[in-house]
Amino acid sequence: MGAEEGAEAEFTPEQLERRQRLIDAAFELGAEGGYDAVQMRDVAATANVALATIYRNFSSKDHLLSAAMIEWTGRLRGRVAQRPPKGDTASEQMIDVLNRACAAMARQPKLSVALIRALSSADAGPVGGRSEVRKSIAAMGDGILSHLEPQVRLDILGVLGHVWYSNLVWWANGRSSFDQVTDELGRACHVLIDPYDRP
Amino acid sequence: MGAEEGAEAEFTPEQLERRQRLIDAAFELGAEGGYDAVQMRDVAATANVALATIYRNFSSKDHLLSAAMIEWTGRLRGRVAQRPPKGDTASEQMIDVLNRACAAMARQPKLSVALIRALSSADAGPVGGRSEVRKSIAAMGDGILSHLEPQVRLDILGVLGHVWYSNLVWWANGRSSFDQVTDELGRACHVLIDPYDRP
DNA sequence: CAGCCACATAGAACACGTTCTATGGTGGGC
DNA sequence: GCCCACCATAGAACGTGTTCTATGTGGCTG
């Protein structure tokens, strides 16, 4: 394949297409029935590939779902970044952004749970699930905190990433409600950001 | 059993003993081989009970391991609370406490990973895994922050609980090193606590 | 064109968590 | 003293993620 360079493993268009079909199938099944409904045999059937082909592209079910998660957060990030955050203070704006992200997930609860569960799972593959979450937070929040010292900003965003992730995992595992999540996120933003937000 | 009151489901001593044997077996297998080595058939054999008996006591493997986790954190909490935290500022003391807890886990890495993975799993059972983590943090940190307003103290401890939990999960899933964990925890403590620690 | 090779496929096979069935034992109420 | 309700046991059975085997198949190399 790809007779050109001896470089390294390019992928043929059909391979990319198959891969995408697999991710789409994961979305579809996950949106309907959540994590448990994303069964590898069903994914294979939905995507019209053989079971073994999934494992040529993804090392595990969780890896597949994590790939889907990354695609999804990418889209989400774009949409959230579109309109400027509401609020007078930095913490209010941050809360607004996070709440919008939460709302987006609440609109597809089963899918969100499936993706989050995969992300917090042991073998989510080589995917930087962690850095993905952090990158999303950073991308969404960097502008809001641009008036702070860079180091403080990084630390705050790091902590917020943890709070966000931890809350999502608890929610995905059915141990807290969405209201609790937004409440915790709000309090975290205030206690973290407010002291730095008045010079 | 327990001919006394018509109250409700007391447990007979043998039941309690069996339950404890199961938890001990989980410790043993987990310490040797980590999460995957805690296989229900082996747990049953090690504890000298039938497989079905495990499921009479715990709703799932993760529930069993979570119960073990709770016992373990209990002991850990006691030991950490023994000697007073080192450090001049509140954040330094908090860091000291968290680092000691980390060090304790690092001493049994396979077991720690197994327990954390169970705790972050979907069906860890009715166990308040979340509140357990928070309670541990709170118990260890409450004294250190006693000079702060109660609301701020609660919020800070809540956020620290999230940071702690999130870091542990990432570590348990092999996505960050122990050094990274202690580093993140340290930075979180400073950025969170320092602004409130000088009146 | 022949041969090779990497990949796709169908389907069986395997591993392990979980559930089910049939049987045995024990203690409390009549 | 007998019976019944409850629990433990052994072991089979099931479901689903993952791996293995055997068989195409399509394109590049000689």
Q: pLDDT digits over A86-136, tens only?
A: 999 999 999 999 999 999 999 999 999 999 999 999 888 776 656 777 888
Measured CA angle at A186 (ends A180, A189), to 5 deg: 140
Between residues B15 and B181, the one the model is more confident about:
B181
- Per-residue pLDDT of B116-131, as tens digits, reads 999 988 888 776 656 7
Tell if A131 CB is < 7 Å from nucleic strand C.
no
Find which of A60, A133, A163 to mutate to test the B interface (most B CBs within 10 Å of its CB). A163
Predicted pLDDT at B28: 97
- Per residue in B164-179, pLDDT tens? 999 999 999 888 899 9
In one letter, which amino acid is B119? L
Instruction: Judge whether residue B50 contacts strand C, using its CB and a 7 Å cut-off.
Output: no
Task: Write out residues in chain A with pLDDT < 50, as ranges.
Answer: 1-9
Q: How far is B57 from chain A (nearest CA, A)?
A: 21
Closest partner residue to A155 among B159, B169, B191, by Cβ?
B191
Count of alpha carbons within 13 angstroms of residue A157, beta-carbon side: 24
Residues of B in contact with A165 (CB under 8 A): 162, 166, 169
Task: Write out the DSSP string of A132-178.
Answer: HHHHHHHHHHTTTTTTS-HHHHHHHHHHHHHHHHHHHHHHHTTSS-H
Tell me the average pLDDT of chain B: 89
CA distance from start to end of chain B:
60
Residue B16 clears pLDDT 60, i.e. is over it: yes
Give the model confidence (pLDDT) of B57-92 as tens digits: 999 999 999 999 999 988 888 888 888 889 999 999
Is A169 within 8 Å of B169 when comparing Cβ atoms?
A: yes
pLDDT score of A4: 39
The residue among A119, A105, A64, A101 whose CA lies nearest residue B169 is: A119
Residues ≥6 apart with Cβ < 8 Å to A24: A47
Query: Which is more confident, B107 or B8?
Result: B107
Q: Which residues of B163-195 are buried (b: 16+ CB within 10 A; e: fewer)?
A: bbbbbbbbbbbebbeeeebbebbbbbbbbbbee
The pLDDT of residue A49: 96
C-beta atoms of A156 and B195 within 8 A: no
